[in-house]
Amino acid sequence: MEIKFSPGLHTLACACLFGLIVLCVGWELWWAPLRAGGTLMALKAVPLLFAVSGVLRRRIYTLQWVSMLSLLYLMEGVVRAWSDVSPVSAALAGLEAILALGLYLGAILYVRPAKRAARHG
């Protein structure tokens, strides 16, 4: 049985992963850092960097764990969008939530056919 993967879902996962990395670094260093001049919060992008190679190579295991990791970024984005007093920071948090949700859905739905095939065969 041949497993059919969706290239569109892989593209979504890749785009959201790279967008999330750029957003995390830019947000905490230049656009709306917690303190003037940037903060070490930019290091929150580091775990995402470990996923880049595996996601680009369409590795099922990497796509599975990065989908779970993205939920942490989704959580942070929702909390900060709701609670940050700075409108710029709140908007960036909303974008983080959207990108994290896109990464989650793209990754988890991309691996779905492989998981079904493993279960049935």
Question: Two tokens at 103?
Answer: 């990464």
Closest by CA position to 91, among listed 81, 82, 78: 81
pTM of the model: 0.93
How would you write the pLDDT of the chain (121 residues) with one tens digit per residue?
Answer: 678 899 999 999 999 999 999 999 999 999 999 888 888 989 999 999 999 999 999 999 999 999 999 999 999 999 999 999 999 999 999 999 999 999 999 999 999 998 888 888 6
Q: What integer pLDDT is reported at residue 120 of this predicted model?
A: 80
Distance CA 35, CA 28 (A): 9
